[in-house]
Structure 1
Amino acid sequence: MKKVCFIIPYFGKFPNYFQLFLQSCAKNTDYQWLIFTDDNTEFNYPQNVKRILMSFSDLQHLVSEKFEFKVSLDTPRKLCDYKPAYGYIFENYLSNYEYWGHCDTDIIVGNLNDFLLPLLTKNYDKIFTLGHFIVYKNNYENNRRFMRKVKGRLLYKESFTNKNITTFDETYGNDENVNTVFLQNEGKVFQDDYSFNTKLDESFFIQTKYNSNKKKYENIFQSSKLVLGWDSSGLFTIYNVKDKFILEEVMYVHLQQRKMKIKSDLQYNKPFIIIPNSFYSVENLPKNIDEFKKIKKKTLNFQKIRIFVKWKWFGLKKKMLKLYKI
């Protein structure tokens, strides 16, 4: 029996490194992924990842049938707010699982058992707080806990009837999210952040970690030459500090809003290195400082400039819309 079933509705084209995501899933044979999508590109799907072809209009119909009020789901981007409801929306697919979860496809996962197994034995109702990877206990009551009130308000209904994204799925800047609903309605929640979430506006890797006690994100800098390495044993940060070689296992890396290149000679099903804007294959991950010094750690990268321009344009667009009330 699989430990967790991850539900991923995804509409549009998958990231160009989607096959690497699938490769990282394949090594986690205790876990299942169900991907509902309209992307019929022929990827090499492993046995524990099942693609279910579905149009976005069919998904909209499925969601609307589950609620007694008119939901707002005009674009696939709005799906992020519905993530906490996947256990309810897709419950017909989940009867054989003790836990279900959701994760993004712009991640590479390591050895999930090394991190999740200890947590799955502690009877948590919800594990983690960030929308790119959360696990829920799968039972009738818990799959409907997101509908509970907080100070007389139905936060899920406010979100699901709002055309804008409200980040109901995660702890991001306010308490009007599913984590608050669980905490205030007798839900047992594990709130530590096990992700290597990359800072958006940097051209090298800086980890952005959520501190649940302070309710804010904190940046953790290890080295400007830090890379990540994946092989069949897991996912690792690899770097050196004053000629000391450091290799640390991580659960997954989140490459949000990063334009990643796939090297033409990349060989799937081999170990690979992740640098801030590309992937490349290696025979083996470096095991000491001498081997680390020989690997490529960066290429020309405009991530910081690209994000700066994107945010400036987004801010200008909002001002224009407000000014002309479009």
Structure 2
Amino acid sequence: MEQTSLALIVCYFGKLPWYTPYFIHSARKNTSIDFLVITDDRSIIPFAGGNIQAVLTTLDEFSLRASECMQLPIKISFGYKLCDFKPAYGKIFADFLTPYTFWGHCDLDIILGDIRGFITEDLFSLYDLISVRPDWLTGCFLLYRNVFKVNHLYEQSRDYVKVFTTDHHYCFDETNFAHEDFSEGKSYLEINTEIESMMHVVKKMEAIDGLRVFFDLFIIEGLPGKLSWVNGQMIYKNKFEVLLYHLIYFKKVFIPKKIPDIIPDMFKITPTKLIH
């Protein structure tokens, strides 16, 4: 059976962080999935090739592209604001995504395991959005069916124009900072936030329009240690395979003195170190 085609988009402006080669190495092991890295840092060029495509652009050019696609006055002044635009990548980068049945956004501060080992053909066939947490949409890795309805889902938020035209980060792609409320199992109807986030939108559209959204725990975050990356697989406690490790806290406690020229096919991650 032919595999569902998938492309993952990463946007990062500014100097690429130290963990970029680890992300790229783990992405390259997922040979049947294409990665589009959009950045203004020319140091990405040596990483391009195979299933890794590098697109050099600027934040101003991204703003112009988004403005033209969405017919809104968009002017982004800082890279982190891009998180709010992730749900619109299916429209903003539609010209890159035409060949794919699914697309997704992900971040550089993740080390990937075997994506297709978790995102199976059954999941692709049954769902329109696929999240790797059980309680909210994961901005660091989220998949969308590449169809008009899903690519325009952000328009179901009453606040999307405000989000896209205001130079303020709203955590729109996730929960507008209401992660704890969603984790506690509260209904979107009782979680009042400044703007209607994508998590509010998908729960609303699940209820009224039959949107099919998958939530499960495929991710490890925090500083658990006991993680090994072995030739494309992320393994926890030498027993459990996981889809990815999110370095959101790890990158704050560990900065390597030197990155190897060639990332090895086996390394370990403790709570405070990355060991080759």
Answer yes or no: is the 8 Å Cα contact 1:261–1:277 preserved in 2. no
**1:1-326 paired onto structure 2 within 5 Å:** 3-41=5-43, 42-128=45-131, 129-149=137-157, 154-171=158-175, 172-173=177-178, 175=188, 176-185=196-205, 186=209, 187-198=211-222, 205-206=223-224, 226-238=225-237, 246-257=238-249, 258-259=251-252, 260-262=254-256, 264=258, 266=260, 267-281=262-276
Q: Which moved more, 1:263-272 or 1:83-92?
A: 263-272
The Cα of 1:233 is off from its aligned counterpart by: 4.5
Matches of 2:221 and 2:122, distance apart in 1: 20
Equivalent position amino acid for 1:11 in 2: F
Matches of 2:55 and 2:221, distance apart in 1: 28
Matches of 1:97 and 1:114, distance apart in 2: 19
The Cα of 1:99 is off from its aligned counterpart by: 0.2
The Cα of 1:263 is off from its aligned counterpart by: 6.2
Answer yes or no: is the 8 Å Cα contact 2:63–2:75 preserved in 1. no
Give per-residue Cα distances to partners, 1:38-94, cap 9 Å, x unaligned. Answer: 111154335111101111111111011122332352211111000000001100110
Answer yes or no: is the 8 Å Cα contact 1:72–1:161 preserved in 2. yes
| Alpha-carbon spacing, 1:263–1:237, altered in 2? closer, same or farther (3 Å) | farther
Q: Percent identity?
A: 31
1:300 matched residue in structure 2: none
Matches of 1:64 and 1:179, distance apart in 2: 24
Equivalent position amino acid for 1:135 in 2: L
* Bigger Rg, which one: 1
Give per-residue Cα distances to partners, 1:264-296, cap 9 Å, x unaligned. Answer: 585523211112333222xxxxxxxxxxxxxxx
Instruction: Tell me the TM-score normalized by structure 2.
Output: 0.81
| Alpha-carbon spacing, 1:265–1:63, altered in 2? closer, same or farther (3 Å) | closer
Residues paired across the two proteins, number: 245
| Alpha-carbon spacing, 1:2–1:45, altered in 2? closer, same or farther (3 Å) | farther
Question: Which structure's residues are more often helix, by fraction?
Answer: 2
Answer yes or no: is the 8 Å Cα contact 1:2–1:30 preserved in 2. no
Matches of 2:78 and 2:84, distance apart in 1: 12
Answer yes or no: is the 8 Å Cα contact 1:2–1:31 preserved in 2. no
Give secondary structure in 1 for the equivalent of 2:8: strand
Give secondary structure in 2 for the equivalent of 1:229: strand
Matches of 1:46 and 1:40, distance apart in 2: 14
Equivalent position amino acid for 1:52 in 2: V
Matches of 1:86 and 1:121, distance apart in 2: 19
The Cα of 1:235 is off from its aligned counterpart by: 0.4
Gaps of 5+ in 2: 132-136, 180-187, 189-195
Answer yes or no: is the 8 Å Cα contact 1:88–1:144 preserved in 2. yes
Q: Which moved more, 1:166-175 or 1:187-196?
A: 166-175
Matches of 1:194 and 1:235, distance apart in 2: 11
Equivalent position amino acid for 2:216 in 1: D
Instruction: Tell me the TM-score normalized by structure 1.
Output: 0.70
Matches of 2:107 and 2:82, distance apart in 1: 11
Q: Which has the higher contact order (CA 8 A, sep 6+)?
A: 2
